Amino acid sequence: ERIANPDSILYWAWRNKIPVFCPAITDGAIGDNIYFNNSTKHTGDPLIVDIAQDVILIDRLAGAAQKSGMIILGGGVVKHHICNANLTRNGADFAVYVNTGQPFDGSDAGATPDEAVSWGKIRKDAPKKPVKVYAEATLIFPLLVAKTFAEKFFKTKELLNGSKECNGKVSH
């Protein structure tokens, strides 16, 4: 809400009531700042980050969903966190992975959607075949959004407005 910047993915997540999870928030500089903010030398209010609550919430959301889809940018802990949440509902219905990980190195990022199907993280009977895009996510994701979600959004907007033109701007 405070971002108020339509160029931000977090802004649009907030506008559409889509929760955003960060399972590895304690890794790196943010984790260091949480520590320093809660150390005995800090005099202000402590900053409490409940990562267990993140796991509980994402698992409940996935378990209660009529349909579940995963768009996973990157790999590692984020991919693992989202895929595991879908175990509680016998797998996601849709999945798109975008990362540069290759299967030969044995990394989580390199694993293909077929590996997730074998664990029950993606449904064997998924309506659409899961896809892995081998590319750098920050370059490809905006293009994917522009060609899919944004294209549908602007076509719907044109139909609602009765206009054949669309200037590509989002009105608020």
Which residues are catalytically annotated?
Answer: 121
C-alpha distances out from residue 19 to 12, 15, 105, Å:
10, 10, 32
Cα 147–Cα 151–Cα 157 angle in degrees, nearest 5: 170
C-alpha distances out from residue 71 to 24, 79, 92, 133, 161, Å:
17, 9, 11, 11, 30
CA distance linking residue 3 with residue 164, whole number of Å: 32
Question: Hey, how many other C-beta atoms are within 10 angstroms of the C-beta on 78?
Answer: 18
CA distance linking residue 158 with residue 93, whole number of Å: 30
